[in-house]
């Protein structure tokens, strides 16, 4: 008798590669949701560490001084897998799993119930490529000019794919999103698998295209600011927004009145990572109302604008609470905690409509429509921050409009995805200059870093020294 019983809940990778079935493909595809949220929201994950680098937050955990000594003062060390070398392996692992699913789709039989119809394959492939693109985007967001490998779906033992420049990574991401868009359009009226609640608004291939296009709008905005591709990238960003779940022209957005019913719900609409307490599920570490592990950076209070009633920006009041002042090494002090996440299972945003409105403002400004950009920025000031509109913004110098735009992005997207660091870098505002004070850096001896290092294990696998620069000859 053979007592070796396979794990029927987790079909073996070998089976998926050699003799894929409809059930195996569906299980592996749903597993991409789990992989996508990996290391996004622990107390020292993607949101938290990019928050430190971008001066949104401190990781206040007392268990290791490197949350201060390395992340704020440096140097960042690619050999420290939870500090400088963090935020790499989880993304590539999920990309690898996506590649396995795509290869399985290419050979799985055409006849249900064991096989999949052409329509089911198209819907599944479009979904998988979109998630793969998201993972690549998060990967290059952390390494930027150091680049990343994109040819990573080779068989075990094959030569490692080369690093390519940031520009090529962004081009690869756009190619994935556009290919996924075509596949989703051919994917019929339903997916052959279920989507979690965080994707409830995108539960059909047609609706999922809106999420895909929202991601493309973000990528094209990043390309426009980083690669100087000008009107071409901004035009593609605006076109993607028109096909996203924003899907309304700017002048329609501006018809909403302050405190109109549903405005807050509208701004919150989008796609989210899900968490849970069930067996085998995952909670997150961003729920921290006492500030044990996460604290707000002091600049959040000092830079917040004031409402007409004298109170600070409503976003600050909704997302920040005062807690007892504590100190950490080198005179770092903080007395604010985040209230954005109400429990250990609260959903964490991937992309929301509020971000899309601000991306639309970027695109309008990039295409020379300063009045349109200013109107959208003021829409967010009024409806999200409860701030008075900034009079004369449309006639201000472009750098002034950009600075106002980035400030609104800080408070609208606070502690959701490292946006302050990414935005400051792509607009050349990490450091003081003639047009910007740079990121706030009030403690002497602290440093603002532009990129996270390549992990030492990745360097070693390529025969390179620690903290390598694979693109440098």
Pair 100, 154: CB distance under 8 Å: no
- Tens of pLDDT, residues 187-245: 999 999 999 999 999 999 999 999 999 999 999 999 999 987 889 999 999 999 999 99
Each residue's pLDDT tens digit, 55-101: 999 999 888 999 999 999 999 999 999 999 999 999 999 999 999 99
What pLDDT sits at residue 16?
81
Contact of 245 with 214, CB cutoff 8 Å: yes
Domain residue spans of the chain: 243-279+303-322+351-426
Structure tokens at 304: 């917040």
What's the token pair of residue 140?
A: 């290059």
CA angle 371, 373, 376 (to 5 degrees): 110
Which pTM was predicted? Answer: 0.95
Instruction: Please give the pLDDT value at position 18.
Output: 74
Q: Is the pLDDT of residue 249 over 70?
A: no
Token pair 């390179």 is found at 464
pLDDT tens-place string over residues 283-325: 999 999 999 999 999 999 999 999 999 999 999 999 999 999 9
In the chain, % helix, strand, coil (3-state, to 5) comes to 50, 10, 45
Tokens of 451: 């990129």
Q: Which token pair is 199?
A: 């994707």
Q: pLDDT averaged over the chain? A: 93
Checking if the pLDDT of 248 tops 80, the result is no
Higher pLDDT, 462 or 1: 462
The Cα 158–Cα 143 span in angstroms is 24
Neighbouring residues of 104: CB distance < 8 A, sequence distance ≥ 6: 16, 17, 20, 24, 25, 28
Residue 5's pLDDT is what?
43
Reported as a single tens digit per residue, the pLDDT across 147-166 is 999 999 877 778 899 999 99
Residue 135: pLDDT above 70?
A: yes
Percent of the chain with pLDDT over 70: 94
Which spans in 108-249 are helix H? 118-143, 166-185, 205-227, 230-242
Mean pLDDT to the nearest integer, 35-48: 97
What single-letter DSSP state applies at residue 451?
Answer: -
């Amino acid at each position: 008798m053979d007592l070796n019983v396979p794990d029927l809940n987790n079909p073996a990778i070998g089976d998926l590669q050699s003799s894929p079935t409809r059930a195996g493909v569906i299980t592996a595809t749903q597993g991409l949701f789990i992989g996508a949220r990996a290391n996004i929201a622990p107390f020292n994950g993607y949101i938290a560490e990019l928050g430190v680098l971008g001066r949104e937050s401190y990781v206040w955990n007392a268990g290791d001084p490197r949350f201060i000594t390395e992340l704020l003062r440096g140097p960042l060390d690619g050999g420290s897998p939870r500090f400088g070398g963090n935020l790499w392996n989880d993304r590539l692992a999920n990309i690898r799993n996506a590649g396995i699913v795509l290869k399985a789709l290419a050979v799985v039989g055409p006849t249900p119930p064991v096989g999949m119809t052409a329509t089911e394959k198209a819907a599944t492939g479009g979904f998988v490529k979109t998630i793969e693109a998201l993972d690549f985007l998060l990967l290059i967001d952390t390494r930027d000019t150091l680049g990343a490998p994109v040819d990573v779906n080779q068989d075990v033992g094959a030569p490692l794919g080369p690093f390519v420049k940031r520009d090529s990574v962004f081009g690869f991401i756009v190619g994935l999103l556009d290919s996924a868009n075509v596949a989703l359009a051919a994917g019929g009226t339903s997916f052959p698998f279920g989507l979690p609640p965080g994707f409830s608004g995108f539960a059909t291939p047609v609706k999922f295209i809106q999420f895909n296009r929202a991601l493309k709008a973000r990528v094209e905005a990043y390309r426009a600011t980083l690669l100087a591709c000008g009107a071409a990238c901004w035009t593609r960003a605006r076109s993607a927004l028109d096909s996203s779940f924003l899907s309304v022209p700017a002048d329609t957005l501006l018809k909403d009145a302050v405190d109109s019913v549903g405005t807050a719900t509208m701004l919150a609409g989008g796609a989210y990572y899900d968490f849970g307490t069930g067996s085998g599920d995952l909670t997150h570490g961003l729920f921290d109302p006492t500030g044990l592990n996460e604290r707000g950076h002091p600049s959040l209070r000092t830079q917040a604008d004031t409402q007409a009633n004298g109170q600070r920006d409503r976003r600050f009041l909704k997302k920040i609470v005062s807690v007892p002042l504590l100190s950490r090494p080198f005179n770092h002090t903080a007395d604010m905690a985040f209230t954005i996440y109400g429990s250990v299972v609260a959903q964490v945003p991937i992309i929301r409509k509020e971000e899309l409105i601000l991306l639309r403002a970027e695109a309008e400004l990039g295409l020379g429509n300063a009045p349109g950009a200013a109107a959208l920025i003021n829409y967010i000031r009024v409806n999200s921050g409860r701030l008075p509109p900034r009079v004369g913004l449309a006639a201000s110098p472009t750098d002034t409009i950009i600075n106002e735009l980035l400030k609104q992005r800080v408070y609208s997207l606070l502690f959701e995805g490292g946006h302050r660091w990414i935005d400051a870098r792509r607009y050349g505002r990490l450091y003081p200059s003639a047009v910007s004070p740079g990121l706030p850096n009030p403690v002497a001896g602290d440093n603002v870093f532009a990129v996270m290092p390549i992990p030492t294990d990745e360097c070693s696998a390529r025969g390179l020294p620690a903290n390598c620069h694979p693109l440098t000859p």
